[in-house]
């Protein structure tokens, strides 16, 4: 029985994809399979030995289908009990899969539905520690920022992921932390491990550099209106407007700052 499948969505980054697969092949313990899902404008051509000695399966879906759709398709095709997501421009510490296999048997009496790794940023050759999700397990934090629920740091139990509907394709960005919120709302177990390390490459073409924070905030607030009060809603919008760095939101930020100052703290 397959235990771990790795799903790699890719979009017009063949050189980065080859490097990611090359590093994945150097894991101390190999995953049972690697599922590459291509939604780029031009089909990616992989050499036969691209990920040797890994078991590699390649699928081509509609161009520009989006990362959420690509990951969902990959999970449907995957054979593993657990699915680890790895973006085509990221990579893992060499013992990542080995640690995952040990963590899969831990949890409160049963295997966790989601496992979250620590994320380091690789920018211009330097590694910078990103805030680990385990530092703040509250759902509320996910509305203001992403405390570490990034695609390449998430591993999910396949059956639970499919039962909850996978990534929400309405989200162009922020789909990873939305998935974590959904797991929390549905009472699914999330296990954090700071020793499990994913490295996020920072570059000009990365999707995270083009996040529409305001759109993501509105989508989250609309979807989880039952879980947020007025204070959370106001703070979420204020933080989204600030991150957008658009002058047209200056009045909105000031108004929300005043509103938040008038709301009594719990």
Asked if residue 123 has pLDDT above 90, the reply is: no
Averaged over 245-249, what is the pLDDT?
A: 75
Most confident of 59-68, 143-152, 217-226: 217-226
d(CA 147, CA 78): 28
Asked if residue 68 has pLDDT above 90, the reply is: yes
State the pLDDT at residue 70.
97
Averaged over 66-92, what is the pLDDT?
A: 96
State the pLDDT at residue 136.
66
Averaged over 74-100, what is the pLDDT?
A: 97
Averaged over 15-20, what is the pLDDT?
A: 93
Averaged over 13-39, what is the pLDDT?
A: 95
State the pLDDT at residue 244.
82
Sign of CA dihedral 90, 94, 95, 101: positive
Averaged over 50-68, what is the pLDDT?
A: 87
Q: How confident is the model at residue 209 (pLDDT cuts 50, 70, 90)?
A: low
List % helix, strand, coil for the chain (3-state, nearest 5). 40, 20, 40
Averaged over 238-245, what is the pLDDT?
A: 86
State the pLDDT at residue 198.
95
3-class DSSP state of 190: strand
State the pLDDT at residue 53.
82
d(CA 36, CA 50): 11
Better-predicted residue by pLDDT, 251 or 247: 251
What percent of the chain has a predicted confidence (pLDDT) above 70? 89
Asked if residue 213 has pLDDT above 60, the reply is: yes
Question: Which residue, 120, 63, 68, is CA-closest to 90?
Answer: 120
State the pLDDT at residue 26.
95
CB 110 within 8 A of CB 12: no
Domain boundaries, the chain: 4-209, 213-262
* HSE toward the beta carbon, residue 172, CA cutoff 13 A: 13
**Cα 30–33–36 angle (5° rounding)?**
120
State the pLDDT at residue 46.
78
Q: Which architecture does CATH list for 4-209?
A: Alpha-Beta Complex (3.90)
Least-confidence region, from 137-146, 150-159, 190-199: 137-146
Better-predicted residue by pLDDT, 142 or 46: 142
Question: Using CB atoms within 10 A of its CB, is residue 88 exposed (0-12), middle (13-18) or buried (19+)?
Answer: buried
Mean pLDDT of the chain: 88
Asked if residue 178 has pLDDT above 80, the reply is: yes
């Amino acid at each position: 029985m397959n235990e771990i499948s790795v799903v790699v969505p890719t979009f017009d980054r063949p050189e980065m994809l080859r490097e990611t697969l090359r590093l994945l092949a150097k894991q101390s313990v190999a995953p049972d399979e690697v599922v590459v899902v291509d939604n780029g404008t031009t089909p990616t051509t992989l050499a036969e030995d691209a990920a040797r000695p890994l078991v590699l399966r390649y699928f081509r879906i509609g161009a520009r289908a989006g990362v959420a759709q690509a990951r969902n398709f990959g999970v449907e095709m995957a054979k593993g009990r657990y699915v680890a997501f790895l973006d085509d421009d990221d990579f893992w510490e060499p013992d990542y899969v080995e640690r995952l296999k040990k963590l899969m048997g831990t949890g409160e009496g049963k295997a966790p539905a989601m496992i979250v790794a620590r994320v380091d940023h690789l920018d211009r050759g330097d590694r910078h520690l990103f805030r680990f999700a385990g530092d703040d397990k509250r759902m509320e934090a996910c509305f203001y920022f992403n405390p570490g629920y990034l695609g390449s740091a998430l591993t999910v139990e396949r059956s639970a992921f499919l039962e909850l509907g996978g990534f929400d394709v309405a989200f162009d960005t922020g789909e990873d932390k939305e998935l974590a919120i959904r797991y929390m709302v549905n009472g699914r177990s999330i296990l954090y491990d700071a020793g499990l390390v994913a490295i996020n490459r920072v570059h000009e073409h990365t999707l995270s550099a083009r996040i529409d924070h305001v759109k993501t905030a509105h989508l989250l607030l609309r979807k989880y209106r039952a879980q947020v009060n007025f204070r959370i809603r106001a703070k979420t919008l204020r933080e989204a407007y600030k991150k957008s760095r658009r002058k047209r939101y200056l009045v909105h930020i000031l108004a929300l700052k005043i509103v938040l100052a008038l709301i009594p703290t719990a």
